[in-house]
Structure formats: structure tokens, C-alpha cells
Structure 1
Amino acid sequence: MNNPRTIQTTTQAEYILKPLSYLVIILLAAILLVTPKTGHSQTTASPQVHVEIIIFQSLAQRGWTEEYWPSPSGLVLSEQAQRLGETTPWAKLVAAENLELAEVRSRMTTDRGYDVLAHFAWQQPAFNRNNAQPIIIDSQLQKRRHETSPIYGQVRAYQERFNHVEIKVELDRRIPANLRERFAEHQGIELAWLPESWKFVIDESRRVRPGELHYIDHPLFGVLIHVSRVSQP
């Protein structure tokens, strides 16, 4: 036979616990509603870096015949490479007036043997190596010499313990008319079979310290790389 006091105690406990259960459910729902969503909000809140690139060609003609230049088969970009713009919401193109190497570029004049082909920068989160994606370098980022010296390639910035920048860029440069005969002889090609232009490639990976200017050298062209941290509001 059931104890009446036990039945009464259990009934009171259920009477108290039911409202508490409803209160817990309401509190959990409220927590879920106010908890920030992951994704873009985390991306914009993560540390940002400013990556700036200058690509230039050398006007010194001795580079054409100082070394033997095998004809490259053509640069193949990563399937993940994207153009700066609407397709890359994680990367913001920096306006020309906000470029940090403007003074450096102003000193790279033709009378000093430099011909700047592209100068651009973007800001992005400090992605690790697995999450960082390459940005395409092509005519959209090239400012001049599109017909005589087109560039094509990709650049990727990421951060592990240090900042790193990987750049692959191809310069398809028209052979100077006064060098065609010497260049054909130097390359071991009949002059009649010599193409109008020749391709040169830079494929480098550099560890860069924020604020330092890095120079990738090549007898025919070169790249300047600068990475800095973006101050968070």
C-alpha cells in the first residue's frame, strides 16, 4: 500500500520542477539568440595584414645575354586563385592614395633603370597556410606596358609563426629589336624562328617581418614585397 506522505511529496516536487524546466528552456533559447554567429564576423574580427607588391622590369639590356634562358612552358595557377574584387570578400583592395610604398615607387624611375609594371596592395585576415588563398596577378592589376610586357601569376600571403608571401609571376617581354640577333645567337635559335617575345618567371617564397621591405631579384625584372599589420578600431 502506497504511503500517502510520499505521494504528496513527489507531487509537490513535480509541481516545483516543471516551471523550472520551462525557465531553463527559455534561458537556453535566449543564449542561442544572442550568441554571435561564426564565419564572416570572426573573419573581420581577426588580425588583419596589409600586403603590398611592386613588380617592375629592368631596363638594363645586359640581362638578356648574361644567362641562358630556357623557354618556360607557361605558368599554371592554383585552382583556388581568385581575383581581387567581389569574388574575394576576405581581401580588400587598397586605394592608390593609401599605398605605403608610394615614396619607394616614386624613386623607381626609368633614368635609374626601373620600369614599374604594377603596384597594388590588399588587406586580409592573417590566415594560416591551410586557409590562405592565392590572388591572381594579371592585366587588372597591371598599370602599364600591357602589350609589350604583360605579367601573369599569383601571390599568396599567410601567417604561421611568421608572415610568409609566396609569389609566382611570369613576364612575357618583347625582345628589343637591337638585341634580336644577339639573343637568337645566345639562345642557339635561328633568327627566323625567334619569337617576338620571351617569358621569364619568378617563383619564390619569403618569410617577411612586418615593416620590412623584401626584394626578389631577377636580371630582367623584380618584385618588392612589404607586409604590415593593420590597426584594429
Structure 2
Amino acid sequence: MKAKGVVHLQVITGFCLSILMGMLMAENVLAKENWYHFEIIVFEQDRVNSEQFEAKSTTIRLPRRKFDLTRTAYPKSLLLINPIQFSRLNRDDLQLDSVYRHLMRRKAYKPLIHTAWMQSVKSDSSSKPVVVSAPFSMRNPHPVQGYITLQRGYYLHLKVQFEFEKEGVFYLMDQRRRIRLSETHYFDHPVFGVIVYVERLAIKTTTITQ
């Protein structure tokens, strides 16, 4: 009888441990995601500076695995109900439109990029890089390309890396700083500037990690 009791106890203990391990694995598999409104303005600026930040060839290191924004722009109200990764937002939903118009009115500045999109970021991870660019054209003789990455941990950090080309010379911006949500953040360079706005949206999803 005593031996049977020991075996029975071992079976119950093993069963409880299996349930506990399953719960722990489920917590690791399910990762909470937050959705964000990302918005960026990149502009050329004419400012005298004695420092040199130039190179004769491209030096930016774009991520191997990068993502493109949707060609179609969607209303933000629709995306709050049915979110789509890397979905470009309608112009009516841009938060930095007044900043963009201010830059347009100033002779010392020339806006090159102004776009916004929605994207989710898992807890304790970095957002997937979305490359944005203004390629060479007759209206834009000075191409620019780059990406931003939101690093979500105990604090939020934003990494900005862009490269601006002018008359065969390449200028690189590579900065990282801690940010607060729903605020405008300016990243400075003598030749061009980057303005970023990040807002958390009232959308909560749970995704199975790989």
C-alpha cells in the first residue's frame, strides 16, 4: 500500500509539473504587442558649420531584412479597427503637417520626405526597420534614404540612420536617444535634419513569437 501511495504521489507531482511548464511556455510564446503611429519629416537645410560630416561614397548600412510601406494610404480611423502592418496613413491624419508647412515657408529649409505609418512593436524588442527614401529626380537632385527603429524596453529609445547625398558627397546621420511618446523629436545635422513623432495607439494584440 505504501509503495502504491508513493507511485500515486509521483504521478500527481509529474502531472502538476507538466501543467506548470506548459503555463510558463505559454507565457514565453505569447508576446504582447503595442501599435504605434510613426511619422517622419526629412529636410535639407542650409547652415554654415565648420565640422565635416562627409564622405565620397555611401556609408549607410541598411538592414538586410527591411520592409516597405503600403502604396495605398488608409484612414487612421479604419486602421484602428483593422490594423495593417506598415500601412501608410492619409494626409489628413498627419500630426506634423503644421511643422511641414513651416519648413516650406522658410528659404533655409527644403522638405524632402513627410510620411506616416502604423506598425506594431513587441515588448522587449525593436521595431522592424522600414526604409523610407526620396530618390533622385529632376525635382529632387539630392537623394536621401534611411530608416528609424523603436527599441521597446523599460524605456523607449529611437534609432535614426539616414544618408543625404549632395553633389557627389554623402552625409551620414546615425543617432540614438531615449524618447517620450506623443512628442516631437528633432535629430540635427549641419546639412539636413530629421523630425520624428511616435504615438501609441489604443490597439492591443497578442502574437505568437517564432
The TM-score range, normalised by the shorter chain, is 0.5 to 0.7
Decide which structure has the larger Cα Rg and report it.
Answer: 1
**Aligned partner of residue 55 in structure 2, secondary structure:** coil
Q: Is the 8 A contact 1:54 1:223 kept in 2?
A: yes
Aligned to 2:164: 171
In 1, Cα distance between the equivalents of 2:56 and 2:172?
8
Report the residue type matching 2:174 in the other structure. Answer: D
Once the two structures are superposed, the pairs formed by residues 141-156 of structure 1 within 5 Å of their partners are: 147-156=140-149
In 1, Cα distance between the equivalents of 2:201 and 2:97?
17
In 1, Cα distance between the equivalents of 2:126 and 2:186?
26
Normalized per residue, the structure richer in strand is 2
* 1:157 equivalenced with 2:150 (yes/no): yes
Report the residue type matching 2:195 in the other structure. Answer: L
Higher relative contact order (CA 8 A, sep 6+): 2
In 2, Cα distance between the equivalents of 1:143 and 1:107?
24
Q: Is the 8 A contact 1:91 1:123 kept in 2?
A: yes
Deviation digits for residues 78-133 of structure 1 (CA, Å, limit 9, x no counterpart): 112111128xx522211112101111111113535211100111111132454521
Aligned to 1:84: 69
> RMSD value over aligned CA atoms?
2.9
Aligned to 2:176: 205
* 1:99 equivalenced with 2:70 (yes/no): no
Larger CA deviation: 115-124 vs 149-158? 149-158
In 2, Cα distance between the equivalents of 1:206 and 1:138?
22
Q: How many residues align?
A: 163
Deviation digits for residues 50-81 of structure 1 (CA, Å, limit 9, x no counterpart): 11111011033x24xx2234415422211121
- TM-score, with structure 2 as normaliser: 0.67
Distance 1:209 1:108, change over 3 A: same
In 2, Cα distance between the equivalents of 1:143 and 1:97?
27
Once the two structures are superposed, the pairs formed by residues 112-131 of structure 1 within 5 Å of their partners are: 112-128=107-123, 130=125
Once the two structures are superposed, the pairs formed by residues 36-51 of structure 1 within 5 Å of their partners are: 46-51=33-38
Deviation at 1:231, TM superposition (A): 2.7
Report the residue type matching 2:55 in the other structure. Answer: S
In 2, Cα distance between the equivalents of 1:117 and 1:168?
15
Distance 1:126 1:143, change over 3 A: farther
In 2, Cα distance between the equivalents of 1:228 and 1:208?
11
Q: Is the 8 A contact 1:137 1:169 kept in 2?
A: no
Aligned to 2:13: none
Normalized per residue, the structure richer in helix is 1
* 1:71 equivalenced with 2:55 (yes/no): yes
In 1, Cα distance between the equivalents of 2:174 and 2:139?
21
**Aligned partner of residue 103 in structure 1, secondary structure:** helix
Report the residue type matching 2:69 in the other structure. Answer: L
In 2, Cα distance between the equivalents of 1:152 and 1:129?
27
